[in-house]
Amino acid sequence: MPDLPPDASPDAEPDAMPHKQPRWPATLALMAVGGLRLALPSNLSVGPDWLLLVVVAGLLIPTVFARRRKHDKLNQVLGFVLNSVVTADMIWSLFLLVRALPTHRQSPGELLRSAAALWFTNILVFASWYWRLDAGGPRARELQGVHTDGAFLFPQMTLTEDMRKQMGEDQWSPGFIDYLFLAVNTSTAFSPTDAPVLSRWAKALMILQSLISLATLALLAARAVNIL
C-alpha cells in the first residue's frame, strides 16, 4: 500500500486525508464526449445520436455510487469500462468517417463539424485515460499524497523538497486539468511539452492519440483540396 502523507495519521480515514482529488472534471469531460456525439451525422454513429450520452450517464451513476460507498476496486473497474466504451465509439466513428469520405456523401459543413467533434473527443477521451491510469489512478494518488512517481514527469516533480515548500507545492498531486493539458498538447503538437513521458504504456497511448488527431486533420485537408 502506498505510504501515507507525512501529516496524515495512520488511523485516519482515507477520505479525511488531504489531496482528495475532485472527480467532477473527469465526469464533466465524459458527459461532454457523449454530447459531442450529437454533432455527428447518423451515418457516422451506431444507434441513435443520444445513445452514447445515455450509456455514459448510465455507467456514471454506479461509478459515483461505488466511489461514495468506498468500493474502490468496483469504482476502478467501472471507470475502465466507461473509458473503453467512449474510446471504442470514437474509433468506430472515425473509421466510418474515413470510409464515407470517398463517396462525398457528406457536405463540407457536415465534414467540418464531424472532424471537429472527433478531434475534441480524442482529447477528452485520452485525458480521461491518462488521469485514470497514471500512478494507479486518482484514488492511489490520493493515498500516496505527494506525487513523486508516475508515467509523466510533471515540472513539480523535479523540484527539490525545499523548493516545493517555498513555492507552496509540497503537497502537489496532478489533477484532471493537468492530464487534459497533456492531452491537448499531444493533439496539437503531437508530443508532450512540459511533461516528459516515462512509461511505455503512456507512450503507446500518446502514439495512438497523435495518430487519431493527425488522421482527423488529414481528412479535413484532403476534403478541402477536393473542394478547391
Q: Is there a domain that residue 11 lies in?
A: no
pLDDT of residue 47: 82
Reported as type and span, the H/E element at residue 208 is: helix 200-227
- What pLDDT is attached to residue 167? 78
Q: According to the model, what pLDDT value does residue 15 have?
A: 43
d(CA 112, CA 127): 23
Would you say residue 1 lies in a domain? no
Domain count, the chain: 1
pLDDT for residue 161: 76
pLDDT at position 146: 78
Q: What are φ and ψ of residue 191, in 5° steps?
A: -165, 160
Place of cell 497523435: 210
Global model pTM greater than 0.75: yes
In a domain, 125, yes or no: yes
CB atoms within 10 A of CB 6: 9
Q: Any alpha helices (H) in 37-160, and if so which ranges?
A: 51-68, 72-100, 108-133, 138-144
pLDDT in tens, the chain (228 residues): 344 444 444 444 444 445 677 889 999 999 999 999 998 888 888 888 899 999 999 999 999 999 889 899 999 999 999 999 999 999 999 888 888 777 767 777 788 888 889 999 999 999 999 999 998 999 988 888 778 888 998 888 887 777 877 777 777 889 999 999 999 999 988 777 778 899 999 999 999 999 999 888 887 766 655 654
For the CA atoms of 144, 148, 153, 157, the dihedral, rounded to the nearest 10 degrees, stands at: 130
Residue 59: the pLDDT is 94
In a domain, 4, yes or no: no
Residue 2 lies in a domain: no
What is the domain extent for residue 29? 23-227
At residue 4, the pLDDT reads: 45
Q: Is residue 18, in this structure, part of any structural domain at all? A: no
Specify if 7 maps to a domain: no
Q: Is residue 6 part of a domain?
A: no
Contacts of 122 (CB under 8 A, 6+ apart): 90, 187, 209, 212, 213, 216
